[in-house]
């Protein structure tokens, strides 16, 4: 009603548009369906009664008002909500409910009880109103919010599409290629579907885009659309008529004569709906006339003055002398010649004599003497029209210059259609000038500053022009536009390719066949592609290849048109044999010959020479375009003469070239019709493709696996079993993309086997039983067992539904006569891996890149999987544990499952508590049955999870496990007295040892102080001195005692006990130190190793640095006594840095070798933590640093990290410790017979330690000065009684290896210090002179000249009778060594400093040298390093060689980790 009132006021003349059908149509579409049907009948009746006139808007407004008042509760537009799309898809197609605090915003007045005789009262809407004023805003917000939710998974470009290219619910977008359009639409559709919003009614001007969507997702009028037909297909898009096939907007003009009044002029002007102003040159005269009439006249229906009649007739197209030519109600307009200079006619081509416009011209009246030619837009889903500026062809118009075209291509923002159209306008005026601009544009794209002048163009050949440009090319410049880094050139290549594509497309009707433009252009590009200048060769090859691709596309169209014309002619000839072939058929044949000749010359002139170019970029361009030619025009290219280039390029040295080759082959093998042409190629190059699955570039390997899958599926013979076996191991590759591709290959083959061999069995056992049978067999037979988690992850994307079929897996496991024992073990392992993958949602270690973050969708799927896992296994897990409780391997795997349960579900209902009791009972039974450490540790990890206080059932599980521990403790205490007295027999010893072992395993995960096992364990350890007890019993006692102290420290920190309790705990620590020191001297290696490990953890936890931040706990600080430190240092020297030689492991299998080596690394890390965290003085690190060179392969990473962290804590003391370690080695060498070889080893260690100081010399400046001063003091120390003068003088040679790290300004200071310390008589000694020269910066060559004399007198100490060498150091020597300087005695490391995050876990990686099977010049570049290491290889190597290969790091958990 408001619109009707505003229309009648006359202040808004544009509202008269509502009197037309187009003006009222958008309003009718918003009405409920019932009202739409009623309006159609009322409108038809009005037309019949008024001679066919369309109902005015006043009639429509009265109709709506009457219908609204007739039945407001039933038909009111404000309350009707029954049409499709009117309800909320989130609420099961019911009206969207409104929140209570929003209802006040939707109030309205209406009669009480819908009775018009009663009072008007205030109502509030309870549901959302569709059609209300804010409804569009709400709908738009919901649409944008929905696509934003899925942006992380489906891409940010989907948000850009919805936010920038949607008008309410209509999306309008143009994209360069069909693939991009399909990909964007499918991802946007998937993103919106997650919010229950269906994106459909797709329309596109490309058949491939329409075929990508099912018919129900297409628009109603184009479900069966065929763009290749001749019948035009129209689609209304926001009021405009869009002809889909030609991708043009058309305008239907009514031919009815309007009265010569102001109303008639307005109706005529507004009858042409043109919101974009595409036909403004036509309608501008009518609008100008309407403006004049609005000023001069006020009445709407009086006749206009006679002087205005002529203008009205011209505008309406009815004047005999009108410059306009109306074609009423037409859709297309025939092509007309373009005004301006015509091209030279050729007798062979009729199309060359006329200039045709875009395939879809707009049938609007065009002024004579002007050319209005809207161009076809790029392929995609475009509904936009692109028109180039009108050029009048006046003299002096230069058109688009080379610089303008280059700027447009560089910017990437200009519409290439307009750029090409403007250049074509200039070319049509003067083809020589236009071609010259195009040539200069190409030269500029190459990065050349030279210009081709008109004189050069007229008088010089292409070779001479290129030679001249080469001379002007900037020498030494390696960058040109195609390879220049930076954001300004980011889209240059794409813009250049788009320019070429649009150029060919715009010339496909005439200029492509004139044998001038493209022939000249190809001749120039062919010459430039042979140039020695890289920029010319690269750019011209790219342009030539893209031009040929465009020509190929045109040739395919021409061939299609030729076939259609030939069929029509054949059909007519059957009816009348006298009919002659139409001229169009001959013209198409000539055009096809011209295009074939152009393609052949380009292929021979450019491709054949450049596909093997030195530049990999050029080769990649050639192969990429060759793939398009083969798939786009198989009639001309799909033959052995062209396929051979793809086969040869499979062996290219550069991975980008190989990748393009594989992608091209994928396009060919996807087409079923091409398989016959590829048989010879497949048989010849299949072996090469199979080798490429181990390509060093994982992207190439991924695509080649996809290609082999296509070959296996599409070809008749496929791949043999042995050939498939070369792909299967890739499921264990570390690269997840490659592993997923191999998993897809394996999954498809499994499905193929099931379809052929297991079809009958499906009906009886289920479809997934066969899948698991084959998968288990594959897993058992492969060489990479114990990597089931990687196999499951490889299959997760394609076989996720099968791997989540817990029902089938548990059914197979619980049935009595099903799988064999080996098959059951493999199936359990795969099932546990699938449970872990589903519950965690992350790939395994080694296949993730970056931080693990799950999006909202993945989190939702993860929560659903956890609920499904819990719901299914909560009942069956006790049964599985009961069946496999005696099998160590299987029960350890099954005990991992509850960690992935939603344990809150146990407390959701009472029946489920029964299953919890059964689970706890089974765990307790497993503990009683097994004595293996692996099983006990699995149970110990599960118990704290079930006893967590965050669950309401924790009291039940606490009670059950407490009863278990009570029984174990009672068993231990029962036999304790007999064990201590020596009266226990072997059976009693075994029972007590087994009970204590189980308790010690649980003590690692739980606090067992209330069972008071510390004193009994100490008694056992002390009694071992008198009588030999079982080693395993002693190890368990050590663990229990140590864990008691560790848990006690945790309890003390939390509760803050009194002083008496702290003193008692400190006393227990001292007792443990004493007992542990005794165990370190035992001969039993198992007890000795365990004692060292637990002592390191206890010493670290009760060190002064650990309580420095808590003054109340200072009483607990208990540093280790000197004797214990001496024993620990001796242990490091005797049992860690010895026995790593090959002969020590002779006769030991590989797994035992790895286990021993892992334990040594763990022990060394535990010892290094003591002085890094301040538990020991930093001087204790000398026992580690002096082995840095000798054991660098075995422990180099640990010692290097220790050096780095110690330097962060106290750089000066760290440097002095390095010097002290060298002094100790030198003193040991002097104490024995001096040896030049040993001195060389010490100097090698010094050089390696010097390199650890890094390159930032200013940061280590003070440290190096302190090191040199301590070294000089040691070299010039006073001799002891019986020693020669200055026995340590040769130490200066060792010290000189650190001089190159000293800054120049510090060398003068050190030189002065040297002169102060060195006696004047010793300044001429060789060692002193060498050190002086190193400080002065003399060259190494000069040092080598004096090398002989120096070596002869470098060690001045006389031979001393060697004393027996003992590695163990006494307590006195450990504390106050004669070689430790005064600074070390008083130094202490501040434990409050930030300590390094250095744990007692290490990582051991077996590095296996790869045998090189190809020379450096070979074209095969593959790498098998992406495969996992074989844990159980078929051919076992010698243990000695395993140690020689310097193992890395393997992750181990600390034996005393809390």
**pLDDT at 602 (0 to 100):** 93
- The owner of tokens 């760290």 is 1214
Q: Which residue has the tokens 């039993």?
A: 1084
d(CA 645, CA 612): 10
* 234-237/170-171 β-pairing: unpaired
Category of 909 on φ-ψ map: left (φ > 0), alpha (ψ -120 to 50) or beta: beta
pLDDT value of residue 364:
32
Tokens of 391: 């050029």
Instruction: Give the per-residue SS3 of 196-257.
Output: CCCCCCECCCCHHHHHCCCHHHECHHHCCCCCCCCCCCEEEECCEEEECCCCEEECCCCCCC
- pLDDT, tens digit, 9 for 90 and up, residues 699-722: 999 999 999 999 999 998 889 999
CA distance 451 to 465: 10
What angle, rounded to 10 degrees, do the helices at 1192-1209 and 1150-1172 form?
20
Q: What is the rounded CA–CA span in Å between residue 127 and residue 133?
A: 15
Smallest CA-to-CA distance from 292 within 303, 280, 308 is with 308
What pTM does this model have? 0.64
- The alpha carbon of 452 is separated from its chain's Cα centroid by a whole number of angstroms, namely 47
SS3 281: helix
Tokens 């492969």 appear where? 782
Between the alpha carbon of residue 1408 and those of residues 1195, 1427, 1434, 1443, the distances in Å are: 18, 11, 15, 11
The CA distances from residue 280 to 245, 255, 287, 365, 717, in Å, are 25, 19, 10, 11, 64
3-state secondary structure of 380: coil
Q: What is the pLDDT of residue 319?
A: 45
Angle at 1396 between CA 1394 and CA 1401, to 5 degrees: 150
Torsion angle of the four alpha carbons 242, 247, 248, 253, in this order, in degrees rounded to the nearest 10:
-40
Cα separation, 798 vs 705, in Å, equals 15
Q: What is the spatial distance between Cα 250 and Cα 230, in angstroms, rounded to a whole number?
A: 17
Buried b (16+ CB within 10 A) or exposed e, 1375-1391: bebebbbeebeebebeb
Contact indicator for 1039, 1089 with CB cutoff of 8 Å = no
Cβ atoms of residues 868 and 834 within 8 Å: no
Place of tokens 């393997």: 1450
| Segments in the chain below pLDDT 50 | 69-86, 89-90, 319-397, 1142-1144, 1338-1458
Alpha-carbon distance of 100 to 103, in angstroms, equals: 5
At 534, phi and psi to the nearest 5?
-60, -40
CA distance 739 to 727: 10
Query: Are residues 1247 and 1253 in contact, defined by beta-carbon separation less than 8 angstroms?
Result: no
Nearest to 139 by CA among 162, 156, 123: 162
For residues 1293 and 1306, give the distance between their C-alpha atoms in angstroms, rounded to a whole number: 19
Cβ pair 26, 236 in contact under 8 A: no
Q: Report how far residue 1126's alpha carbon sits from residue 1368's, in angstroms, rounded to the nearest whole number.
A: 8
**Contact indicator for 189, 154 with CB cutoff of 8 Å:** no
Coil, strand or helix at 115: coil
Give SS3 for 138.
helix
| β-strand pairing of 166-167 with 170-171 | antiparallel
d(CA 1374, CA 1378): 10
Residue 27 backbone dihedrals phi, psi, to 5 degrees: -75, -40
Helix or strand (DSSP H, E) at 120: strand 120-124
Under 8 Å between Cβ of 971 and 991: yes
How high is the pLDDT of residue 326?
Answer: 35
Model pLDDT, residue 544: 95
Phi-psi region of 1364 (alpha: psi -120 to 50; beta: other; left: phi over 0): beta
Identify the three-state secondary structure at position 1069. helix
DSSP labels, 15-55? GGGGGSHHHHHHHHHTS-HHHHHHHHHHHHHHHHHTTTPPP
What is the CB neighbour count within 10 angstroms for residue 374?
A: 22
The token pair at 990 is 């075994």
Q: Distance (Å, rounded) from C-alpha 1099 to C-alpha 1081?
A: 18
Q: How far apart are CA 92 and CA 96, in angstroms?
A: 10
Per the CB < 8 A criterion, the answer to whether 1003 and 1044 are in contact is yes
SS3 content of the chain, % helix, strand, coil (to 5): 65, 5, 35
Residue 695 sits at φ, ψ, to 5 deg, of -60, 145
Structure tokens at 614: 């030195």
How many other CB atoms are found less than 10 A from the CB of residue 624?
19
Instruction: Classify burial at 1282, counting beta carbons within 10 Å of its beta carbon; exposed 0-12, middle 13-18, buried 19 or more.
Output: exposed
pLDDT (0 to 100) of residue 298: 60
Which pLDDT score, from 0 to 100, does residue 765 have? 60
Q: Are 741 and 706 in contact (CB under 8 A)?
A: yes
The pLDDT tens digits of the residues spanning 933-951 come to: 999 999 999 999 999 888 8
Q: How far is residue 818's CA from residue 811's CA, in Å, rounded to a whole number?
A: 9
Would you call 687 exposed, middle or buried from its count of C-beta atoms within 10 A (0-12, 13-18, 19+)? Answer: exposed
- CA distance readout (Å), 261 to 275, 289, 300, 793, 1161: 25, 12, 7, 78, 102
């Amino acid at each position: 009603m408001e619109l009707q009132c505003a229309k009648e006021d006359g202040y808004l003349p544009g509202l008269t548009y509502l009197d037309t059908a187009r003006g009222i149509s958008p309003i009718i579409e918003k009405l409920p369906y019932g009202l739409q049907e009623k309006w159609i009948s009322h409108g038809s009746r009005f037309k019949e009664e008024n001679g066919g006139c369309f109902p005015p808007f006043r009639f429509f407004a009265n109709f709506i008002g009457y219908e609204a008042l007739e039945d407001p509760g039933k038909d009111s537009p404000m309350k009707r909500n029954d049409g499709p799309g009117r309800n909320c898809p989130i609420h099961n197609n019911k009206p969207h409910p409104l929140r209570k605090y929003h209802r006040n915003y939707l109030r309205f007045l209406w009669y009480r009880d819908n009775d018009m005789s009663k009072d008007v009262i205030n109502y509030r809407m309870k549901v959302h109103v569709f059609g209300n004023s804010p409804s569009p805003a709400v709908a738009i917000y919901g649409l944008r919010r929905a696509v934003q939710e899925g942006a992380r998974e489906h891409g940010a470009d989907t948000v850009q599409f919805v936010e920038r290219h949607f008008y309410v619910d209509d999306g309008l977008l143009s994209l360069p290629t069909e693939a991009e359009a399909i990909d964007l639409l499918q991802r946007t559709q998937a993103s919106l579907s997650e919010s229950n919003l269906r994106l459909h009614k797709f329309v596109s001007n490309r058949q491939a885009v329409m075929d990508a969507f099912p018919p129900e997702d297409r628009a109603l009028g184009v479900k069966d659309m065929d763009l290749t037909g001749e019948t035009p297909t129209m689609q209304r898009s926001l009021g405009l008529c869009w002809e889909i096939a030609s991708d043009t907007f058309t305008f239907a003009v009514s031919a009815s004569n309007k009265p010569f009044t102001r109303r008639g002029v307005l109706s005529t002007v507004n009858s042409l709906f043109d919101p974009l102003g595409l036909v403004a040159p036509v309608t501008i005269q009518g609008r100008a006339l309407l403006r004049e009439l609005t000023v001069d006249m006020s009445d709407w229906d009086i006749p206009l003055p006679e002087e205005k009649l002529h203008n009205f007739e011209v505008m309406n197209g009815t004047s005999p002398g009108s410059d306009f030519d109306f074609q009423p109600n037409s859709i297309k307009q025939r092509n007309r010649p373009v005004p301006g200079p015509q091209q030279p006619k050729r007798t062979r081509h009729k199309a060359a004599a006329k200039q045709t416009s875009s395939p879809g011209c707009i049938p609007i009246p065009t002024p004579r003497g002007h050319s209005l030619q809207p161009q076809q837009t790029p392929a995609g889903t475009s509904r936009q029209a692109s028109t180039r500026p009108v050029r009048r062809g006046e003299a002096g118009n230069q058109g688009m210059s080379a610089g303008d075209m280059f700027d447009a291509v560089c910017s990437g923002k200009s519409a290439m259609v307009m750029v090409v159209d403007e250049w074509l306008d200039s070319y049509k005026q003067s083809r020589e000038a236009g071609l010259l601009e195009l040539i200069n544009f190409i030269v500029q794209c190459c990065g050349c500053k030279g210009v081709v002048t008109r004189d050069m163009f007229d008088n010089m050949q292409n070779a001479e022009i290129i030679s001249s440009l080469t001379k002007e090319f900037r020498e030494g410049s390696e960058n040109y536009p195609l390879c220049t880094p930076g954001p300004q050139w980011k889209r240059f290549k794409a813009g250049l390719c788009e320019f070429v594509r649009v150029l060919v497309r715009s010339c496909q009707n005439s200029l492509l066949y004139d044998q001038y433009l493209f022939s000249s252009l190809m001749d120039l590009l062919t010459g430039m592609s042979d140039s020695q200048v890289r920029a010319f060769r690269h750019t011209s090859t790219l342009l030539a290849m893209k031009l040929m691709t465009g020509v190929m596309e045109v040739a395919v169209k021409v061939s299609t048109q030729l076939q259609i014309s030939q069929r029509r002619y054949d059909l007519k000839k059957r009816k009348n044999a006298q009919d002659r072939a139409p001229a169009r058929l001959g013209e198409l044949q000539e055009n096809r010959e011209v295009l074939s000749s152009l393609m052949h010359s380009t292929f021979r002139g450019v491709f054949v020479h450049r596909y093997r170019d030195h530049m990999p970029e050029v080769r990649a361009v050639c192969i990429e375009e060759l793939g398009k030619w083969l798939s786009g025009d198989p009639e001309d290219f799909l033959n052995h003469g062209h396929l051979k280039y793809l086969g040869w390029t499979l062996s290219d040295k550069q991975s980008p070239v190989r990748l393009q080759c594989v992608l091209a082959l994928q396009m060919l093998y996807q087409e079923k019709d091409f398989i016959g042409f590829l048989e010879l190629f497949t048989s010849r190059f299949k072996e090469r493709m199979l080798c490429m699955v181990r390509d060093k570039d994982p992207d190439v390997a991924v695509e080649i696996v996809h290609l082999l899958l296509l070959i296996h599926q599409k070809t008749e013979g496929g791949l043999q079993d042995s050939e498939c076996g070369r792909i299967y191991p890739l499921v264990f590759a570390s690269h997840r993309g490659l592993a997923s591709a191999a998993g897809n290959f394996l999954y498809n083959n499994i499905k193929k086997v099931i379809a052929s061999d297991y079809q009958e069995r499906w009906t009886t056992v289920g479809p997934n039983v066969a899948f698991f049978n084959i998968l288990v067999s594959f897993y058992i037979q492969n060489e990479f067992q114990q990597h089931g988690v990687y196999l499951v992850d490889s299959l997760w994307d394609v076989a996720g539904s099968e791997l989540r079929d817990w029902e089938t897996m548990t059914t197979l496991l619980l049935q009595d006569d099903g799988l064999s024992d080996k098959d059951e073990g493999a199936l359990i392992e795969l099932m546990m891996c699938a449970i872990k993958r589903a519950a965690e949602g992350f790939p395994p270690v080694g296949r993730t890149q970056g931080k693990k973050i799950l999006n909202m969708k993945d989190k939702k799927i993860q929560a659903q999987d956890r609920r499904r896992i819990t719901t299914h296994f909560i009942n069956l897990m006790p049964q599985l544990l009961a069946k496999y409780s005696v099998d160590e391997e299987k029960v350890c795997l099954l005990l991992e499952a509850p960690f992935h349960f939603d344990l809150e579900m146990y407390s959701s209902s009472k029946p489920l508590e029964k299953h919890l009791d059964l689970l706890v009972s089974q765990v307790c039974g497993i503990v009683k049955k097994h004595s293996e450490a692996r099983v006990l540790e699995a149970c110990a990890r599960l118990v704290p999870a079930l006893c967590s206080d965050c669950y309401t059932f924790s009291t039940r599980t606490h009670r059950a496990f407490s009863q278990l521990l009570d029984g174990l403790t009672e068993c231990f205490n029962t036999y304790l007295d007999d064990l201590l007295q020596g009266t226990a027999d072997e059976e009693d010893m075994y029972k007590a040892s087994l009970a204590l072992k189980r308790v010690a395993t649980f003590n690692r995960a739980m606090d067992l102080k209330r069972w008071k096992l510390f004193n009994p364990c100490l008694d056992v350890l002390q009694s071992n001195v008198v009588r030999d007890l079982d080693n395993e019993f002693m190890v368990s006692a050590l663990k229990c005692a140590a864990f008691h102290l560790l848990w006690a420290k945790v309890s003390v920190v939390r509760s803050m006990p009194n002083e008496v309790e702290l003193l008692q705990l400190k006393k227990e620590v001292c007792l443990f130190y004493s007992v542990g020191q005794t165990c370190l001297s035992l001969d039993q290696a198992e007890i000795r190793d365990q004692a060292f490990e637990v002592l390191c953890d206890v010493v670290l936890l009760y060190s002064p640095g650990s309580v420095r931040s808590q003054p109340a706990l200072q009483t607990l600080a208990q540093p280790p006594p000197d004797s214990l430190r001496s024993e620990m240092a001796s242990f490091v020297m005797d049992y860690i840095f010895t026995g790593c030689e090959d002969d020590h492991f002779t006769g030991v299998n590989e797994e035992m070798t790895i286990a021993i080596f892992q334990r040594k690394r763990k022990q060394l890390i535990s010892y290094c933590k003591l002085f890094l965290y301040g538990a020991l003085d930093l001087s204790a690190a000398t026992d580690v640093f002096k082995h840095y060179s000798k054991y660098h392969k075995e422990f180099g990473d640990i010692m290097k990290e220790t050096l780095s962290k110690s330097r962060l804590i106290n750089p000066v003391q760290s440097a002095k410790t390095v010097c002290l370690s060298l002094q100790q080695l030198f003193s040991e060498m002097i104490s024995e017979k001096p040896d030049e070889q040993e001195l060389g080893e010490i100097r090698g260690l010094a050089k390696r330690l010097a390199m650890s100081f890094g390159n930032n010399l200013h940061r280590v400046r003070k440290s190096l000065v302190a090191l040199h001063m301590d070294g000089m003091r040691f070299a010039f120390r006073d001799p002891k009684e019986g020693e020669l003068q200055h026995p340590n003088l040769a130490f200066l040679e060792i010290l000189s290896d650190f001089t190159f790290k000293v800054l120049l300004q510090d060398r003068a200071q050190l030189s002065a210090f040297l002169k102060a310390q060195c006696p004047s008589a010793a300044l001429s000694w060789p060692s002193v002179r060498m050190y002086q020269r190193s400080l002065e910066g003399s060259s190494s060559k000069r040092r080598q000249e004096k090398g002989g004399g120096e070596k002869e007198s470098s060690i001045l100490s006389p031979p001393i009778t060697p004393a027996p060498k003992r590695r163990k150091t006494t307590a006195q020597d450990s504390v106050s060594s004669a070689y430790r300087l005064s600074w070390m005695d008083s130094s202490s490391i501040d434990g409050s400093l930030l300590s390094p995050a250095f744990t007692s876990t290490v990582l051991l990686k077996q590095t296996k040298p790869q045998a090189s099977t190809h020379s450096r010049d070979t074209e095969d570049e593959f790498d098998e390093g992406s495969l996992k290491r074989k844990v159980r290889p078929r051919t076992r190597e010698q243990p000695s060689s395993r140690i020689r290969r310097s193992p890395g790091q393997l992750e181990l958990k600390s034996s005393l980790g809390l």
